[in-house]
């Protein structure tokens, strides 16, 4: 008698083994489909400043003009930017991963830059991964830009507040004159310069009361940003105590701490409140 091969029998297994095989496959599939949990770092929220800088009270600050020569006139050695807002908004935007420090290092660490209150206390600077620096200020508080030269070199500091040059009150440009910083010296810039003997103090304010909101040269898009351009210079008259200097350069950005200045005025004009 001839027997036909059973086409199913080639793949037959005992029933309990089939169940076990199905159970193992089901378990494996269940394990693959189980959702995995992971912590994902989220990008910090974009922060729009809640503060501006007002034209404050007059403060005595005497300067003279010194001739200097920039070693690299076409490009600053350092171009730094600090945004500022109230501390609660900064913490909410940057989150718990933000670092807190008291100054920034400029010119390969030769200079220390901080923003200090009227009592000389550094205001906290927050950052995330050293990419965006935010200074915490308070409405109505007076502040100063403080630079400490830890080297034996001479530097020129061109500073802007809300996109306006602190010497002229015009749109910032690295072609503008700056303040001369001597070896080992501490430079305090405490206001918009009104004359060779006086400045209008920097005071945090609402954005509508900011100097940049109330002068023709101002641009609301640049409110809430402080800029510092650093040039190494050769001083022709090192024995003077003057902190003002003259020379060229340029740099764009948005918001831009150094918007190009087509015209030069000697000092900052007063605001024109509406």
Reported as a pLDDT band with limits 50, 70 and 90, residue 270 is confident
Spatial separation of the C-alpha atoms in residues 60 and 193, rounded to whole Å: 10
pLDDT, greater one: 250 or 44 = 44
188 Cβ contact list (under 8 Å, min separation 6): 144, 145, 146
- 219-238 confidence digits (pLDDT tens): 999 999 999 999 999 988 65
| 218, 54 Cβ separation under 8 angstroms | no
The residue to which tokens 């070693």 are assigned: 71
Query: What are phi and psi for residue 59, nearest 5 degrees?
Result: -130, 140
Reported as a pLDDT band with limits 50, 70 and 90, residue 259 is low
By CB neighbour count within 10 A (0-12 exposed, 13-18 middle, 19+ buried), where does 106 fall? Answer: buried
Spatial separation of the C-alpha atoms in residues 246 and 133, rounded to whole Å: 29
Q: What percent of the chain has pLDDT over 90?
A: 59
pTM of this prediction? 0.74
Q: How many CB atoms lie within 10 A of CB 186?
A: 11
For the chain, the three-class secondary structure string (H helix, E strand, C coil) is CCCCCCCCHHHCCCHHHHHHHHHHHHHHHHHHHCCCCCCCCCCCCCCCCCCEEEEEEEEECCCCECCEEECCCCCCCEEEEEEEEEHHHHHHHHCCCCEEECCEEEHHHCEEEEEEECCCCECCEEECCCCCEEEEECCCCEEEEEEEECCCCEEEEEEEECCEECCCCCECCCCCCCEEECCCCEEEECEEECCCCEEEEEEEECHHHCHHHCCCCCCHHHCCEEEEEEEEEEECCCCCCCCECCCCCCCCCCCCCCCCCCCCCCCCCCCCCC
Reported as a pLDDT band with limits 50, 70 and 90, residue 265 is low
The pLDDT value recorded for residue 255 is 58
By CB neighbour count within 10 A (0-12 exposed, 13-18 middle, 19+ buried), where does 17 fall? Answer: exposed
- 202-216 confidence digits (pLDDT tens): 999 999 999 999 999
pLDDT, greater one: 26 or 60 = 60
- 91-139 confidence digits (pLDDT tens): 888 887 788 899 999 999 999 999 999 999 999 999 876 668 999 999 9
Separation in Å, CA 213 to CA 193, 196, 200, 202: 17, 25, 16, 14
Give domain limits for the chain: 52-235
252 has pLDDT over 80: no
The pLDDT value recorded for residue 257 is 63
Dihedral of the CA atoms 129, 125, 93, 83 (nearest 10)? Answer: -100
Reported as a pLDDT band with limits 50, 70 and 90, residue 69 is very high
160 has pLDDT over 80: yes
The pLDDT value recorded for residue 128 is 72
The pLDDT value recorded for residue 148 is 97
């Amino acid at each position: 008698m001839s027997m036909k091969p059973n086409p199913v029998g080639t793949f037959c297994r005992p029933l309990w083994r089939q169940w076990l095989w199905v159970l193992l496959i089901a378990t494996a599939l269940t394990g693959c489909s189980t959702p995995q949990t992971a912590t994902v770092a989220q990008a910090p929220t974009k922060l729009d400043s809640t503060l501006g800088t007002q034209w404050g009270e007059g403060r005595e600050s005497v300067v003279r003009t010194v001739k200097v020569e920039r070693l690299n006139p076409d490009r600053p050695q350092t171009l730094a930017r600090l945004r500022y807002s109230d501390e609660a908004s900064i913490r909410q935007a940057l989150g718990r991963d933000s670092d807190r420090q008291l100054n920034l290092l400029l010119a390969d660490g030769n200079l220390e830059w901080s923003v200090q209150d009227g009592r000389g206390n550094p205001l906290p600077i927050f950052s995330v991964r050293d990419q965006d620096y935010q200074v915490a200020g308070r409405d109505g508080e007076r502040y100063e830009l403080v630079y400490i030269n830890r080297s034996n070199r001479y530097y020129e500091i061109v500073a802007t507040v809300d996109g306006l040059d602190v010497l002229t009150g015009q749109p910032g440009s690295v072609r503008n004159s700056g303040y001369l910083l001597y070896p080992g010296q501490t430079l305090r810039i405490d206001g918009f310069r009104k004359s060779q003997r006086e400045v209008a103090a920097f005071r945090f304010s609402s954005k509508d009361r900011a100097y940049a909101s109330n002068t023709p040269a101002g641009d609301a898009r640049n409110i809430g940003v402080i800029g510092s351009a650093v040039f190494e210079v050769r001083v022709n008259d090192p024995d003077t105590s003057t902190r003002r200097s003259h020379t060229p350069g340029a740099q764009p950005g948005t918001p831009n701490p150094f918007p190009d200045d087509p015209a030069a005025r000697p000092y900052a004009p007063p605001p024109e409140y509406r």
